[in-house]
Structures are given as C-alpha cells and as structure tokens.
Structure 1
C-alpha cells in the first residue's frame, strides 16, 4: 500500500488492486491512529473516520488533485505503482 502523499500529519494511501471492497475509486487516509476510506469522485466517507478538520483538508486536496488521483487509481488497480502527488500547502 504505497503512500501517495503526506501533509499535516495525514497519510494518503492507495492500495494495489483495491476495487473489490468499496467498488469505486477511493483513497485511504490515516491520521493519529484513525483511518478512513474516501471516494475520489465525491469525497464520500466509505468507511472509518478521521477528525472533521483533517477530513476537510483531505477533501480540499482531493478536489485539487482529482485528475491525478484517477490516474493513480487506474495504475493501482492494475497492480502498478501509483505516482506521488503533491501535498496540500
């Protein structure tokens, strides 16, 4: 599960071949022992939870990098290494 970005203590990960459980493009985020799966298309929390402040930052980051995230999703689903994406600044 490669880390594709990291900002403000938030790790953003994308698992290889991870289209079975949630059935749509998504990322996994970790923050201080909490985890959530978040849909790339609309920012819906599919599983888990992180604090609201950090969730808002992740949602802003997704909006900025949505196109790159979809490219990474296709790579990861096919078992290829996704590219790193710039952090939120």
Structure 2
C-alpha cells in the first residue's frame, strides 16, 4: 500500500483496487481509520482525537490531490506524494 504522506507520526496510505467510496487510510501507532475523501467522515476504525484533527486539517487542504490519487489508484497507477501538514 503506497504511503502518500507522513506528518506528526501519522501515515497516510491509499490502496490500489480499493472499494468505493473514495477514501484513504490514516495510521497512527496501533490505530487506523479509513476516511471518506468527500465527506471526511470515518468509514471504519478510529484515531485518537489529536491525530484525527490533524488528519482532517491536512485532508481539507489536499482534498483535490486526494481525489486525484484515488483516481490514479483506481487506474492501477502509482499515486503521487502529497505535502505533509506543517
């Protein structure tokens, strides 16, 4: 699973051949959540509050890039790296 960004101990990944809805995986320690790109709601899993808030802040800034990466993955192409939250 390609890692598309990393910041503050949070790893953002996206799978090839994933199911709808468009989403990304956020990992933080032993926690993992799948987050819908369109609504920014957690589909599956859980992150601690601080990690969740940082992830959502990042996703808001990069929503268009996330959708572009989702489309690349659906076409079985390598997603592009996305700038981390600073």
Q: Give the TM-score, by structure 2 length.
A: 0.97
Aligned partner of 1:17 in structure 2 is 17
Distance in 2, matches of 1:81 and 1:65, equals 17
Aligned partner of 1:67 in structure 2 is 64
Distance in 2, matches of 1:63 and 1:17, equals 24
Matched, 1:78 2:75: yes
How far is the alpha carbon of 1:42 from its aligned partner? 1.3
Distance in 2, matches of 1:76 and 1:43, equals 19
Q: CA RMSD in A?
A: 0.6
Unaligned runs of 5+ in 1: none
Q: Give the TM-score, by structure 1 length.
A: 0.94
Q: Which runs of 4+ in 1 moved over 4 A?
A: none
Unaligned runs of 5+ in 2: none
Distance in 2, matches of 1:58 and 1:52, equals 10
